[in-house]
Amino acid sequence: MPTTHYAQSGINAFVFAKRRPRSPETTPVPQAAQHGRPNVSDSRLNVPLSQQGFPEPAELFANLGTAPLVEHAVRNGEGLLAAEGPFVVATGKHTGRSAKDKFIVKDAETENTVWWGKTNVAMTPEHFAALKADFLKALAEKDRLYVADLFGGSQPEHRVNVRVINELAWHNLFIRTLLVRPSESELATFAPEYTIIDLPSFRADPERHGSRSETVIAVNFTEKLILIGGTAYAGEMKKSVFGILNYLLPVKGVMPMHCSANIGQDGKTAVFFGLSGTGKTTLSADASRTLIGDDEHGWSDTAVFNFEGGCYAKMIRLSAEAEPEIFATTKRFGTVLENVVIDPDTRLLDLDDNSLAENSRGSYPIDFIPNASEENLGPVPANLIFLTADAYGVLPPIARLTPDQAMYHFLSGYTARVAGTEIGVTEPEATFSTCFGAPFMPRHPSVYGNLLKERIAKGGVKCWLVNTGWSGGKATMEGIKRMPIKATRALLNAALDGSLNDAQFSKDPNFGFEVPVAVPGVDSKLLDPRASWADAEEYDRTAQTLVRQFIDNFAQFADHVDESVRQAAPVSATEAA
């Protein structure tokens, strides 16, 4: 199917080709169009850019709504309007986060508060000063900018005021969709606490700026400024706000979480932790439950509250049958689709085509989900679910965890990538991302782990491990399929409505958690991973491999947790014998 080029110049000037779109990182941002309106910064911004020390362009469009931003994006040649309403863009070579290009400024504020290492990489204040100077110079050269004043966090006493400055209209629409939108009265008194400047056209200089490449995401907690350059992937902005809240909230005793959350008809909240691709968005968008949010939340003394005002779902191979609520958003004006293939003539979408990216994404306001919470928050959790996509086929579809086991698996943050995506890779690859979100956690994992354990104990929260991955063998084995979503939903429903607590459980010989023996409507063979394999001995060998990976990974946390948590570690069945 043909895909689009970005406009080279002018308004509504699209060039179509049957090859991948040119990256917006290498395509000049079109010059400002004549919109027939004056600079609007004074009338739409309570705190002008100049008051922050930032240059103001000839045209500054502040706090525009969805329709005007889509209109601007079309005029600027930033993408295409699809037949049924969404705005479709391609992000070029960056179709996901550039984790290795993210830095935190190491200074008096962060030296002893940030967990420095592979995830949180330091940038010197001197390098950041040079980067900031060049960013402001680049801003001064722009004829047009877009600004949005937004909240990170829905609970007023725990939210942060964030200003986002963009050179692309669709980026501004994205972040306005993903964060919490202030009312007109709140905008009238809005004062930014943190500012994000996002310039995809900017090129970092590793020698001058201390970056790794021409792409850079630099976070300065002292100056409360985040600079993003050299990438058009919009998710960098969203995750930067998540990082801010992950840094600020633990000091207040609030637990920040990389999770989705929803509320049952009984009024009880469930929280779903999980890495990308494990089912957070899919499983939380349940028509029988009220959605709080799909990705980022805080757990205060009184509520689970969404950090965001929108959702950011994977689009690849999305179907109306499996995910009807999310699929419906692909036919709505106001949805932004990234790296989804579109026919330039008919403007019809092909959600199954991964030629632009496997990580195709859709952003949409949370109220596009019919059963979303109007308040964007709910009661404190009654159930915690840790989602993992186990490509080894070792873990059961559901297991009940003790509080110590819950902390162990929270700090482990396990999932597995399917082999075969790279030449020569023939086995699944374990991925451990502490707290199910290591790239976004500035502080030491024990800070978040201890907060979680305290809140589990305080609220008597039930904890579950749910495997949305493969069953009956490794994902690489012929004929092995992913866990049926109907079975996953049935098991989750039983856990959340309390009926699963009455089931008979057996102890998993490798991981020590409790696994139900029988659940109505679910094949009992599915509940016993070893029995579902054709070769039980091969299962044992694979389980031993996974157990060793868990133990090796957890060694980094052993000195920061109680002995009871260390005792929650798995032990391979053969070693135990």
Judge contact between 452 and 410, C-beta under 8 A.
Answer: yes
Q: Strand 194-199 and strand 225-229: pairing?
A: parallel
Quote the CA–CA distance of 67 and 33 in Å, as a whole number.
17
List phi, psi (to 5°) of 84. -105, 15
Cross-strand pairs, 416? 430
CA distance 468 to 488: 7
Residue 359 near residue 96 (C-beta atoms within 8 A)? yes
Distances (CA, A) of 357 to 3, 21, 317, 414, 517: 13, 12, 12, 24, 40
Question: 149 CB contacts (<8 Å, ≥6 apart)?
Answer: 45, 46, 62, 63, 161, 162, 163, 182, 187, 190, 192
Q: Which helix (H) or strand (E) holds 290?
A: strand 290-293
- Please give the positions annotated as active site: 97, 239, 258, 276, 280-281, 295, 361
Alpha-carbon distance of 447 to 183, in angstroms, equals: 34
**Cβ–Cβ under 8 Å, residues 229 and 165:** no
Cα separation, 297 vs 303, in Å, equals 10
| Strand 462-467 to 398-401 pairing | antiparallel
